[in-house]
Amino acid sequence: MLNRRKFLGLGLGAIAVASTSNLGAEDFRKSKPKAWTATKVDEAIKEVFGKTAAVESNITLSAPDIAENGAVIPISFKTDLKATKIAVFQDANPEATVAVYTITPNMVLDYAFRIKMQQTGDVIVIAEANGQLYKAVKNVKVTIGGCGG
C-alpha cells in the first residue's frame, strides 16, 4: 500500500531525475559534430569524408521520382564496393546529413529506409572505398497533398 510519505518520496525522486537529465544537453548541442549541423551538402560531405570530389558510379540508388508525402520517402541503395564508410545526404532540409555508416569487412551493403524531406531536392549517397569517393544522386519531387504539382 502506498502511503503519503512513499508517494512524496517517489514524486520528489522522479522530479530530481527529470531535472538532472537535461544537465548535459546544451553541452551536447555545442559539441555536436559539424557534419550533423552543416546546412550545405558539400560542407557535410567534407566534414564526413575530408573531401568532396566523387565519381558518380558503382552505387545503385532508388527513390521515387515524385513523393506524395515528404514525411516518409522510401530510399534504398546498394553497392558491391568494398567501402569503409557510406553516408546519405539531402539538400531539401535545413541540415544536410541524413545517415553515416561505418562499414566493416564482409557486410552486405544493401540498405532501405525512409527519410523526411521538406521540399523537392536531391538525395545523395556517398561511399568511400580505397581512398576514392563514389556517389549516386536522385532528385525527388515532393508534392503537397499528393497532387503532383
Residue 21 is assigned to a structural domain of this protein: no
Residue 122: domain span: 28-144
Residue 102 is assigned to a structural domain of this protein: yes
Distances (CA, A) of 55 to 27, 58, 107, 133: 37, 9, 22, 6
Residue 7 pLDDT: 58
Distances (CA, A) of 24 to 29, 35, 37, 76: 9, 20, 18, 35
Of all residues in the chain, the percent with pLDDT exceeding 90 is 68
Residue 110 pLDDT: 96
Instruction: Give bridge partners of residue 142 from the DSSP assignment.
Output: 67
Residue 31 pLDDT: 63
What is the distance between the alpha carbons of residues 28 and 41, in angstroms, rounded to a whole number? 22
Residue 20 is assigned to a structural domain of this protein: no
What is the distance between the alpha carbons of residues 133 and 124, in angstroms, rounded to a whole number? 12
Residue 17 is assigned to a structural domain of this protein: no
Residue 16 is assigned to a structural domain of this protein: no
* pTM, to two decimals: 0.77
Number of domains the chain is built from? 1
Average pLDDT over residues 20-48: 75
What is the distance between the alpha carbons of residues 130 and 14, in angstroms, rounded to a whole number? 51
Average pLDDT over residues 28-54: 87
What CATH number does the domain containing 103 carry?
A: 2.60.40.2470
C-alpha cell at 67: 513523393
Q: Give 80-138 pLDDT, tens digit per residue.
A: 999 999 999 999 999 999 999 999 988 999 999 999 999 999 999 999 999 999 999 99
